């Protein structure tokens, strides 16, 4: 399945995971803690979020390239809305995994 990754520099990675996963918990069966979040949008589409000292690492997987591009936009838009302050620099690249 097509996958992409974005490494986002932010000091608020844990807070963003919590806010985003809490937001999506009303609609999806999310799992998260202070440094990890998993959002299964459906059987073939997911977002994995990980926080560390470098920032927030986001992995998006989808059944095809068109859906992947759409989910990149959805995840990026929601992260920007959940962030306070300066806009996040979100750039996607193809995953090597």
pLDDT tens column, 37-88? 999 999 999 999 999 999 999 999 999 999 999 999 999 999 999 998 789 9
Other C-beta atoms lying within 10 Å of the C-beta of residue 51: 22
Q: Any idea where the domains of the chain sit in the sequence? A: 3-94
Residue 96 has pLDDT above 90, yes or no: no
First-last CA distance in the chain: 10
User: Does the domain formed by 3-94 have CATH 3.30.70.2740?
Assistant: no
Instruction: Give the predicted TM-score (pTM) of the model.
Output: 0.93
């Amino acid at each position: 399945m097509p996958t992409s990754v974005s490494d986002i520099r932010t000091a608020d990675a844990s807070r963003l995971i919590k806010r985003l996963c809490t937001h999506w918990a009303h609609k999806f069966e999310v799992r998260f803690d202070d440094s990890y979040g998993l959002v299964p949008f459906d059987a073939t589409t997911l977002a994995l979020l990980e926080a560390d000292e470098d920032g927030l690492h986001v992995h998006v997987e989808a059944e095809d390239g068109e859906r992947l591009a759409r989910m990149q936009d959805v995840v990026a838009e929601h992260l920007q809305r959940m962030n306070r302050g300066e806009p996040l620099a979100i750039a996607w690249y193809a995953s090597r995994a």
